[in-house]
Chains A and B, each alone.
Chain A
Amino acid sequence: SYELTQPPSVSVSPGQTARITCSGDALSKQYAYWYQQKPGQAPVLVIYKDSERPSGIPERFSGSSSGTAVTLTISGVQAEDEADYYCQSADRIGAYRYVVFGGGTKLTVL
């Protein structure tokens, strides 16, 4: 099981807005990160520290945070955005810090 909860799938038509949510207690204390993974490829960071976008990532990708949930928003979805998306954060037990992932969301562009 995963410490962060994501919907297994989201479907949108090209040009529409896709929103992928991720929830978990760790998110109220730590930043969230989002990764895009296309079939047969390594993950790519698309959002860091809840809402920052790495260089080279299109502006249509954005992130937001509220309490114990975060959202990845893809505005004007394109066919090339079809992929699995994973949220990630960190948690701790005392001084021991560890990484937590969501189970992933498959984005289908209809």
Chain B
Amino acid sequence: QVQLVQSGAEVKKPGASVKVSCKASGYTFTAYYMHWVRQAPGQGLEWMGWINPNTGVTNFAQKFQGRVTMTRDTSISTAYMELSRLRYDDTAVYYCAKDGAVVLLLSFDMWGQGTMVTVSS
């Protein structure tokens, strides 16, 4: 079955960077775009961007451009999201989410379990 397994919780200081991984299984990793979505404590969902695992092409929400990097390693079916220059308000659960179709649908039919990133001094 389709599964996305993310790396564990992180605690970072302001100004540092964090890199979260998302290992996919149960489907052809390179056939579907991978998105990253975050959720601050008690808040709603916020889309960060996507990566095409086949080509490595990325597209980011304007809010995160210049601070986020998305990469992938097709040999191990894993996507990565790195957020730099962390601020206190980056504290959130970060989810990877598989796009719903081979042609970019901008919807999410499977989500990882989430990775809690805490920014604290």
Q: A residues bordering B, Cβ < 8 Å?
A: 2, 30-31, 33, 35, 42-45, 48, 54, 86, 88, 90, 96-104
* B47, A86: Cβ atoms closer than 8 Å: no
Q: Total contacts A to B, CB within 8 angstroms?
A: 57
Partner of B100, one of A2, A48, A102: A48
Q: Chain A binding site: helix, strand, loop or mixed by DSSP?
A: strand
* A101, B44: Cβ atoms closer than 8 Å: yes
Closest to B62 in A: A98
Q: B residues bordering A, Cβ < 8 Å?
A: 35, 37, 44-47, 59, 61-62, 95, 97, 100, 104, 106-114
* Given A42-B95, A42-B113, A48-B100: A103 touches B44 (CB 8 Å cut-off): yes
Residues of chain A contacted by B97 (CB below 8 angstroms): 43
Closest to B63 in A: A98
CA–CA, A99 and B38, complex, Å: 13
Partner of A97, one of B95, B106, B109, B113: B106
* B108, A35: Cβ atoms closer than 8 Å: yes
CA–CA, A43 and B112, complex, Å: 9
Partner of B47, one of A44, A45, A98, A102: A98
Known A45-B108, A90-B107, A99-B35; 13 more pairs at CB < 8 Å: A2-B44, A33-B100, A45-B107, A86-B45, A88-B45, A88-B108, A97-B106, A98-B62, A98-B106, A99-B61, A101-B44, A101-B46, A104-B44
